[in-house]
Structure 1
Amino acid sequence: MNQPGFESAQNEYLKLRQWLFEAALPLWSLVGRDDANGGFFEKIDKNGAPVEAARRTRVVCRQIYSFSAARKMGWTGDVEGLVQHGWDFLQRHCFNADGSLITTVDLRNGARNTSFDLYDHAFALFGLSYAADTLEDKDSIADAALQCLEAMIAGWKHPVSGFEEAVPPVVPLRSNPHMHLFEAFLAWMENPSVKKPERWLSCLNEIGELCLSAFVAPENGSLREYYNHDWSVMRHHTSAPIEPGHQFEWAWLLTRWGKMAGRKDALVAARRLVEVGERGVDEARRLAQNGLDFDLAPIDRAFRLWPQTERIKAWLMMAETAVTPEDRDKAYAKVADAAIALQGFFKGVLPGLWVDRF
């Protein structure tokens, strides 16, 4: 059978894999690793030199994930050493006594931001799952993750569902950090090192239910960003209320959960989210825009890199769940389209770097 969509997607995958293995991973594992003070530099300048700045816990955990995932793809770099480097930094600088995590540490003066940040905790739990996947010290990493989760539940649990953004409570509440928590809970449910899996499963199902009942709009199936404290939608926020990138990202995650939990409603919602996300793709530039209004009309027409990667993931999911060979190949054609557009962010900079925003 002729499969032009699949063949195009495969060609773009090979290009991206080459960029990742030959440019990005070598650069970020060498220049991006701070052997003097520990951890990872957050930025590399246009000349290829690291930029010193306060270190965010979330970035350490994202790097742990990135290198771990690279090994699963076949990269032969020193993944265990890099992940151990990140885990050592977390243990030395990032944990509070109750198991929760700080937001940033400035290695130049020792200043630590200890205020609670839900987004950082989501990435910490996510990164710890991949650290446990990679390192021999699986038990203590799994214990640290569980202690962090219990600290979050004890200190920042929302009275209805999900989590607060701060204590005392503040608004808006946001769907975005809950999306990353959902991803972290999925990662731990798939991790054989998990401690108290029933605890993780309960949290996972709660976020999935919150998404379907509050985050997804019943009128058009879109995923909204900002909420009042009772989880009613905040209608008058200054930022875009609907982000195409997050439609794609939630679709991919809801599909994984829907399969795990036997939830057909999650699978149906996920497919609709991909359709909504495509409403934000600029036809001329083939890029996902930053923001839509409640009627799904573009209001932030700039482009960031990350929504393009989420679009790739969403259409890979659509290919995997397609009913007919024709629909599957159409989905792969979308994968190729998104991957081609993504590579525009790599132009005009050193190999392994990228432009974040057009």
Structure 2
Amino acid sequence: MSSTRPPAPLTDARTDGAPVPLVAVRDRFSNWLFQKALPLWATTGCDGIAQDMAALGAQECLTLAGVPALPPFKRLRVQARQLFAFSWAALQGWEEGVSRAHGIFRFMQRAHGEDGSWARTLTREGAVLDGTADLYDLAFVVFALAWYGRLEGSGRAEALARETLGWIQQHMSTPEGGFLNCLPDDGAARQQNPHMHLLEAVLALYVTTEHEADLALAHTLYRLFRTHFFEPVTGTLGEFFTKDWQPVAGEDGQWVEPGHHFEWVWLLGEYHRLAGVDTSEPAMRLASFATRFGLVPETGRVRDVLRRDGTILRGGSRLWVQGEALRGILCQDKQDSRGIAARLATNLLDDYFTGCPVGTWVDQLDAAGAPTVTKIPTSSLYHIITAFDSLNQAANLATKPSYSGL
């Protein structure tokens, strides 16, 4: 089993070995994000720039040389994540994000069917390639529309988000609770992951609209978490389930991901903040397990996949896992009293944002810390931004007046 020893906090020789403060690492992160990453993804990372400011949406991915890889498809989830990214950036005052958000929104609507459904993939030019309705994708559509609505301001995006939620509830609900992974149903194991992102989306929509009705589905999803996803004896979060929400047989039934544990920690904190429901006990249990078994003491990186007993299934460390760990740790310890968040953020800057084209990232490290990647996925920007946002808010608590990010 993994060691329970926490990682040693990073120290700064310039300050006589004092721990690196959140403000310092936030400032480094902000400079990389606003001066290097966002400008690259707003140009090289967008398609059809010459025509009409991302007229063909976001690139699916880049090569390791930092140029568009141009696969013959574009996934809806990637377009939605980039719509969120540029909407968020524009709301922080990064003006170039406005035109990119508008362009991606227009392109993304090509996946929207007359019946209210959304297609899973498009061709590079925007024709429907796979019309399957995927719950994971739909969750990100709602999430992105909630954020775009704060930027766009007409109410159109919020209305489209509500329409999408209504379509999900009408067509994808199951008698056993929760929703199908996709429609048509592929018969695969039920998954908690798309439900987690659907909760994230509903909470974001409620923040945008402040209409109590937009919070209703969040209560349903929280009950699903408490009754089926969360296992209180071990303090773990299951990933794969049978039709009646029992853990599947074999190794997949023991499969747990520290990154999703930390992601739920943040979500439970947000749900508590917005709905007033006490979520402290499951949040603490999830954070405890993920920190105890997922965090590597020697490096401060977080492992990808464990068993419910804490043993390692995959010892590598995806970028997104580090970002979600940063969010979850700061949700539990806003002052970063143990220095774990500063270590995680510094790891992102030093291990994942270097050794690659400027403004991009290494998406996967193996257990020894070596890159194991063949492309630069656009979709990781969503995790990077949400991690930075939490880091920025925590740093703001330590410094008044608040920091703008630019």
CA shift in 2, pair 1:300/1:156, >3 Å: same
| Counterpart contact for 2:336–2:342, Cα < 8 Å | no
| Counterpart contact for 2:238–2:254, Cα < 8 Å | no
Residue equivalent to 2:327:
313
Return 5+ residue gaps in structure 2 as ranges: 1-17, 366-406
What are the equivalent positions in structure 2 for 1:222-301 lying under 5 Å apart?
222-238=236-252, 241-264=255-278, 266-278=279-291, 279-301=293-315
Q: Secondary structure at the match of 2:360?
A: coil
Displacement after TM superposition at 1:329 (Å): 4.2
Residue equivalent to 1:90:
108
Q: 2:97 aligns with which of 79, 84, 96?
A: 79
Residue equivalent to 2:377:
none
| Counterpart contact for 2:232–2:282, Cα < 8 Å | no
Displacement after TM superposition at 1:190 (Å): 0.7
Q: Does 1:30 align with 2:37?
A: no
Residue equivalent to 1:172:
189
Displacement after TM superposition at 1:237 (Å): 4.6
CA deviation digits over 1:49-89, x for unaligned, max 9?
22212111111111111122223444x23222111011111
The structure 1 segments of at least 4 consecutive aligned residues displaced by more than 6 Å after TM superposition are none
| Counterpart contact for 1:249–1:310, Cα < 8 Å | yes
Q: Does 1:342 align with 2:348?
A: yes
Displacement after TM superposition at 1:29 (Å): 0.4
Q: Comparing 46-55 with 290-299, which one deviates more in the overlay?
A: 46-55
What are the equivalent positions in structure 2 for 1:1-358 lying under 5 Å apart?
8-35=21-48, 36=51, 38-53=56-71, 54-74=73-93, 76-91=94-109, 93-107=110-124, 110-136=127-153, 138-167=154-183, 169=185, 170-192=187-209, 197-198=212-213, 200-238=214-252, 241-264=255-278, 266-278=279-291, 279-320=293-334, 328-331=335-338, 333-343=339-349, 344-358=351-365
| Counterpart contact for 1:56–1:104, Cα < 8 Å | yes
CA shift in 2, pair 1:240/1:291, >3 Å: farther
Q: Secondary structure at the match of 2:337?
A: helix
The RMSD of aligned alpha carbons is 1.9
Q: Distance in 1 between matches of 2:336 and 2:260?
A: 24
TM-score normalised by length of structure 1:
0.89
Question: Aligned pairs, how many?
Answer: 339
TM-score normalised by length of structure 2:
0.79
Q: Secondary structure at the match of 1:191?
A: helix
Q: Distance in 1 between matches of 2:173 and 2:122?
A: 25
Q: Distance in 1 between matches of 2:320 and 2:331?
A: 17
Return 5+ residue gaps in structure 1 as ranges: 321-327
Displacement after TM superposition at 1:168 (Å): 5.8
Q: Distance in 1 between matches of 2:218 and 2:126?
A: 38
| Counterpart contact for 1:171–1:227, Cα < 8 Å | no
| Counterpart contact for 1:98–1:148, Cα < 8 Å | no
CA deviation digits over 1:137-157, x for unaligned, max 9?
x32222211111111111101
Q: Secondary structure at the match of 1:67?
A: helix
Q: Comparing 239-248 with 19-28, which one deviates more in the overlay?
A: 239-248
- Structure 2 counterpart of 1:14, one-letter code: D
Residue equivalent to 1:325:
none
| Counterpart contact for 2:134–2:181, Cα < 8 Å | yes
CA deviation digits over 1:280-339, x for unaligned, max 9?
11222221111010212111101100010011111111123xxxxxxx4425x1110111
CA shift in 2, pair 1:34/1:168, >3 Å: closer
Q: Secondary structure at the match of 1:330?
A: coil
Q: Distance in 2 between matches of 1:128 and 1:329?
A: 32
- Structure 2 counterpart of 1:25, one-letter code: L
Q: Distance in 1 between matches of 2:156 and 2:273?
A: 30
| Counterpart contact for 1:240–1:291, Cα < 8 Å | no
Displacement after TM superposition at 1:271 (Å): 1.8
Q: Distance in 2 between matches of 1:70 and 1:277?
A: 30
Q: Distance in 2 between matches of 1:58 and 1:220?
A: 32
Displacement after TM superposition at 1:167 (Å): 4.3
Displacement after TM superposition at 1:161 (Å): 2.0
CA shift in 2, pair 1:210/1:15, >3 Å: same
Displacement after TM superposition at 1:259 (Å): 2.5
Which one has a larger percent helix, Structure 1 or Structure 2? Answer: 1
| Counterpart contact for 1:240–1:300, Cα < 8 Å | no
Q: Distance in 2 between matches of 1:287 and 1:309?
A: 10
Displacement after TM superposition at 1:120 (Å): 0.4
Q: Distance in 1 between matches of 2:272 and 2:30?
A: 29
Q: Distance in 2 between matches of 1:233 and 1:81?
A: 45
Q: Distance in 2 between matches of 1:260 and 1:23?
A: 34
Q: Comparing 157-166 with 124-133, which one deviates more in the overlay?
A: 157-166
CA deviation digits over 1:165-217, x for unaligned, max 9?
1346423111100010000000011112x7x741x322111001111111111
- Structure 1 counterpart of 2:75, one-letter code: R
Q: Distance in 2 between matches of 1:281 and 1:165?
A: 30
| Counterpart contact for 2:56–2:124, Cα < 8 Å | no
Q: Secondary structure at the match of 1:112?
A: strand
- Structure 2 counterpart of 1:44, one-letter code: L
CA deviation digits over 1:91-126, x for unaligned, max 9?
2x1101111210100136945200121100010000
| Counterpart contact for 1:98–1:147, Cα < 8 Å | no
